[in-house]
Amino acid sequence: MPMVVGGAFRPYSGFLTRPSAHFGRFGWIEGRGRPLWPLLRPPGWGSSSRGEIVMSDTLGDYALGHAQQELVRLSRQGQLLAPFTRSVFAAAGIGPGVRVIDLGCGGGDVSLLLAEMVGPTGRVLAVDRAPEALAATRARAEQAGFSQIATVQGDLSDPKNLSLPEGFDAAVGRLVLHYVPERAALIRRLTEVVRPGGALAFIEMDLSVNGGSSPSPLALRMLDWMLQTFRRGGFEPDTGSQLFGLFRGAGLEAELMATSIVGGGADSAVARMIVDVVRSLEPQIIAAGVATAEEIDVDTLLERLRAEPGAADRSFYLPRLTAAWARTATV
């Protein structure tokens, strides 16, 4: 049994209730301004002496390398993704009183959103392999007054040996499966963790899929840099389109929802987000041999976007997000 830090868990004997409103619950959590852990860069990513992309066991390199600039980016990103996340989790049946596991909690943004959804009678168990991430989640939960959040250390890349308390009502994750080599094994393991009739829900991206009939050439180039860096780093960039099959492999019939987050013009939040992600990923893009510093010229990216013909009237898209959720079998 893993050690759970912060908060107490109780047996759950009720039924997982489905909120009466879910698709209509769009809206950023007002007044919170909570940044989201990176969409396209796992914490602690670095490069080896051979130029390979590697993931460290801590968040140290990430936390020291971005400071306020990165916090601003994460806050913008959180505002873009929070409405879809809330809608998906509500559709999966997460609401007051539910006990839910947040897999790969990172800096705690999803855990805090879940804490709002489940309320003081629910419980949120935040799981991450990095002690620094768990410490950040605990600190933010305390600051927000969410005593229903607890943390536990766990490595999702080793599902067979992943030790979690059983009997939870739900297990969820956002943008985590593309870092997990044994994704199918993890989904199967989670069906053993949640109670019979409980819910699993994941939100993942398809980095190679973005919309628009007349896309920005530079934006497409930046997205390709991200895609190629992911692939050379050994991560799966298109996990969203795999979700239905992963759920079926675990004996689950998933419901699906997808969204394309779009902004209008080169000064939109979406266009700026694409530039900001490249700025964060620049060392890894260069180390992977995807592009040179001169090709990227990160400090001029936004101005180059603005200078493209028709930039002010163009729509900019983030990669597609796909969500899947399902109930486990009842006994």
| pLDDT(278) > 90 | yes
> Packing angle between helix 60-91 and helix 109-118, nearest 10 degrees?
30
> Which residues on adjacent β-strands are paired with residue 241?
none
Using CA atoms, how far apart are residues 39 and 244, in angstroms rounded to an integer? 21
Average pLDDT over residues 40-59: 33
Phi, psi (5° rounding) for residue 232?
-70, -20
Average pLDDT over residues 7-29: 30
Contact 204, 230 (CB under 8 A): no
pLDDT grade, residue 73 (50/70/90)? Answer: low
| pLDDT(316) > 60 | yes
Nearest to 281, CA basis, from 233, 229, 216, 231 = 229
pLDDT of residue 300: 97
pLDDT of residue 210: 79
Tell me the average pLDDT of the chain: 80
| pLDDT(212) > 80 | no
Contact 223, 209 (CB under 8 A): no
Average pLDDT over residues 7-31: 30
pLDDT of residue 214: 74
Percent of the chain residues topping a pLDDT of 70: 76
- Of 58-67, 138-147, 235-244, 256-265, the poorest mean pLDDT is in 58-67
Most confident region among 61-65, 135-139, 286-290 by mean pLDDT: 286-290
By three-state DSSP, how is residue 162 classified? coil
pLDDT grade, residue 124 (50/70/90)? Answer: very high
Question: Residue 229: in which H helix or E strand, if any?
Answer: helix 217-232
Using CA atoms, how far apart are residues 152 and 91, in angstroms rounded to an integer? 26
| pLDDT(66) > 70 | no
pLDDT grade, residue 79 (50/70/90)? Answer: confident
| pLDDT(81) > 80 | yes
DSSP state of 312: G
Domains of the chain: 45-327 (3.40.50.150)
β-strands 255-259, 320-327 pairing: antiparallel
pLDDT grade, residue 152 (50/70/90)? Answer: very high
pLDDT tens-digit profile of 158-210? Answer: 998 888 998 999 999 998 998 899 999 999 999 999 999 999 999 999 999 87
Percent of the chain residues topping a pLDDT of 90: 59
- In the numeric block, the tokens 């390199």 are attached to 61
pLDDT of residue 107: 79
Tell if the pTM clears 0.85, that is, is over it: no
By three-state DSSP, how is residue 204 classified? strand
Q: Which residue has the higher pLDDT, 11 or 142?
A: 142
Cα 327–Cα 329–Cα 331 angle in degrees, nearest 5: 135
Longest dimension (CA), the chain: 61
CA distances (Å), 139 to each of 39, 77, 85, 109, in order?
A: 21, 21, 22, 12
* Per-position b or e across 201-225, b if 16+ CB within 10 A of its CB: bbbbbbbbbbeeeeebebbeebbeb
Contact 250, 329 (CB under 8 A): no
Nearest to 83, CA basis, from 29, 143, 156, 149 = 29
